[in-house]
């Protein structure tokens, strides 16, 4: 940044000026007594040069301090401008992300509605099949619950922790499942019961189903 470079240069010059002022103070101490108490002309001339340069250094120091103050003000203004630009970019990023959540919220509602509707239909179908003589799997509700909880466990950690806090258990690996695995496992049972109810012979093909 230009202002930072200017401050570094000015502070370097100020350090050099302070070093020279210290050096002059040391020289003054060595010649002042002789110049003033003994009226030594050579010492007097040296003292006059020191006093003149000291005055010039004082003025130069004041100028450097003023320049440093201006440079620091400019640096602060530039930093404020950069911070404002960065904050505006962050605000725009927030607006962009928030705009994109419209589809996410809609997808969440649609997905949960689809899941709820599919689950209701499954229970309705099992109810109808039961009326026709099918004995539903004894763990139907438990295993479907495991399917739902398995998917809830895949939710972002903060959401799952809230579910867990509200009483949902963390399922061990052997209870994590999807709905398709239940259909695959229960299909042969349903077919065997249907064949028995229909008085149909049990064939290898039926068993394989």
- Residue ranges covered by each domain of the chain: 2-97, 132-208
pLDDT of the residue at 106? 97
Instruction: Give the CA dihedral 155, 160, 162, 165, nearest 10 degrees.
Output: 160
pLDDT of the residue at 14? 87
pLDDT of the residue at 1? 65
pLDDT of the residue at 174? 92
Q: Which residues contact 27 (CB under 8 A, 6 or more apart)?
A: 46, 50
User: Which candidate, 162, 160, 139, 148, places its Cα nearest to that of 115?
Assistant: 148
Q: Against a cut of 0.95, is the pTM above it? A: no
pLDDT of the residue at 10? 87
Tens digit of pLDDT at every position of the chain (209 positions): 677 888 888 888 889 888 988 888 888 888 888 888 888 888 889 889 998 988 898 898 899 889 889 888 888 998 899 999 999 999 999 999 999 999 999 999 999 999 999 999 999 999 999 999 999 999 999 999 999 999 999 999 999 999 999 988 899 999 999 999 999 999 999 999 999 999 998 765 444 43
């Amino acid at each position: 940044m230009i202002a930072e470079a200017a401050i570094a240069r000015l502070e370097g010059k100020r350090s050099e000026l302070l070093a020279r002022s210290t050096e002059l103070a040391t020289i003054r101490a060595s010649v002042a007594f002789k110049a003033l108490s003994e009226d030594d002309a050579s010492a007097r001339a040296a003292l006059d040069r020191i006093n003149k340069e000291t005055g010039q250094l004082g003025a130069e120091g004041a100028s450097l301090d003023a320049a440093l103050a201006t440079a620091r003000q400019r640096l602060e203004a530039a930093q404020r401008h950069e911070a404002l630009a960065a904050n505006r970019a962050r605000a725009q990023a927030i607006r962009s992300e928030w705009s994109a959540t419209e589809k996410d919220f809609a997808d969440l509602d649609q997905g949960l509605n689809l899941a709820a509707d599919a689950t209701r239909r499954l229970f309705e179908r099992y109810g109808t099949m039961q009326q026709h003589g099918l004995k539903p799997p004894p763990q139907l509700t438990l295993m479907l619950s495991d399917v739902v909880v398995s998917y809830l466990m895949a939710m972002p950690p903060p959401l799952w922790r809230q579910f867990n806090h509200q009483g949902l258990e963390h399922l061990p690996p052997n209870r994590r499942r999807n709905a398709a695995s239940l259909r695959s496992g229960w299909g042969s049972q349903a077919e065997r019961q249907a064949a028995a109810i229909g008085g149909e012979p049990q064939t290898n093909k039926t068993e394989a189903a």
